[in-house]
Amino acid sequence: MVIDAYPVGYFDGAAQESRGGCGFLPRLSESHSFKGWMAVEESTNNFSELVAAWALLFWARHMDIRELRLFGDSRVVIDWLNSQAAIHSINLHHWCIKVRGLVEEFTEIHCNHIYRELNQEADTLSKRGLDGASGVLHFEEWRDGGLIRGGNMTLF
């Protein structure tokens, strides 16, 4: 996908046997990006998607990014974030409020739906998240195709 303005962020969630994985990919420029993934206990796919969006926004805020174009392949989650659909699950509603709270901290943000084929890297990261300790965010920083650094932090 050709991007004409940065920063952008991609997110995706996965669920397998009630365990969830979250993946996100903030791109600061064509040559500078981060990759993040983590596991989420007791999860559905929609829950994993919401937590992935939250983790991406958390990371962007941590990096002092105030303008962002956000992309996800879950139409329902994008509609929730854009307040275009109602949420009927208490647990999902709580997390959507947390995500919208972060959205409000940005000067400008656009939440966009993209097709799954255009979100493969975030999808791969979300599946990587299925195999970790719940709430521990793993990250890597990449520049010019090379890994600069990596690490992890406990989010919840």
Mean pLDDT of 8-23: 95
58 within some domain: yes
Q: Which two tokens stand for residue 147?
A: 């890994």
Count of domains for the chain: 1
Mean pLDDT of 85-98: 87
Tell me the pLDDT band of 3, cut-offs 50, 70 and 90. low
pLDDT tens, residue by residue, 104-143: 999 999 999 999 999 999 999 999 999 888 999 999 999 9
2 within some domain: no
Tell me the pLDDT band of 5, cut-offs 50, 70 and 90. confident
Report the mean per-residue pLDDT for the chain: 92
What's the pLDDT score for residue 108? 94
CATH number of the structural domain spanning residue 135:
3.30.420.10
What is the residue range of 85's domain? 8-43+54-154
81 within some domain: yes
**Could you give phi then psi for residue 141, rounded to 5 degrees?**
-110, 130
61 within some domain: yes
> Would you say 19 and 41 are in contact if contact means Cβ atoms under 8 Å apart?
yes
